[in-house]
Amino acid sequence: MNTRDNSRAELDPQSSILNPARNAYPHPYIAREGWPFIAAAVGAAGFTHWLAGGWCALPLWLVVAFMVQFFRDPPRAVPREPRAVLSPADGRIVAVERVRDPYLERDALKLSVFMNVFNAHSNRSPVDGEVRDAWYHRGSFFNAALSKSSLENERNALWMRTTGGADVTCVQIAGLVARRILCYARPGQWLARGERYGFIRFGSRVDVYLPLESRPVAAVGDKVYATASVLAMLP
């Protein structure tokens, strides 16, 4: 690995959606990253319930409920439109702007998705393409809703090239609470749109840098869903 330092967002479900079974995951509805956390929480709650009763265990059962909702990882249908750039995460759009892509050193359109602790945190490929390179940067843990988190927080970036030759940079960014970015994609690997490639634990952000000529579909404030929502259209 190279170590260089809403409604408007969704396509018509009747005409633009593939069968979700084509993007089935090799695990159940709960993300595999959450199994140890949920098991530990259930064990602690169950033991406390047996030892001290239900009222004493109630806070721990609430922790179990939180863990289950946080690590949920539902399958999603994939829009058909080949030029569509799909949301890589569940959350809310906090930035749509023209900026400098710090990874490919180009002017680009950037869209940022902020995930709070109540969003599903599985990350999925926004386009069909080959992973050309990857960069991991250690950094700070500012609130991921802040724009400075894009360049100062701990992050992992993937450079992807689509079948049409467009370059897309997808960046997982740790947040105020997040302390672990998981990325399973490697240079040379092919990712299909909507394919699961990573996970960020407990609050975070994903930035997507696109060719400057791309047309944004999502707007700041839109609520988006990984794979199901369209962020922009490639030129």
Residues 130, 149: Cα–Cα separation, whole Å: 26
Mean pLDDT, range 41-52, rounded to an integer: 93
Characterize 12-44 residue by residue with b for buried, 16 or more Cβ atoms within 10 angstroms of its Cβ, and e for exposed.
Answer: eeeeebeebeebebeeeebbebbeebbeebbee
Active site residue 204: yes
Fold of domain 80-233: Glucose Permease (Domain IIA) (2.70.70)
Mean confidence (pLDDT) of the chain:
83
Q: If pLDDT is split at 50, 70 and 90, which confidence band does 86 have?
A: very high
- Report which residue type is found at 233: M
Q: pTM of the full predicted structure?
A: 0.80
In Å, what is the CA distance from 54 to each residue of 38, 42, 45, 49? 18, 13, 9, 5
Q: What is the pLDDT of residues 200-228, one digit of tens each?
A: 877 688 999 999 999 999 999 999 999 99
The active-site residue, picked from 112, 122, 125, 204, is 204
Amino acid at 159: W
Q: Which residues pair with 135 in a beta bridge?
A: 2, 157
Residue 160 has pLDDT above 90, yes or no: yes
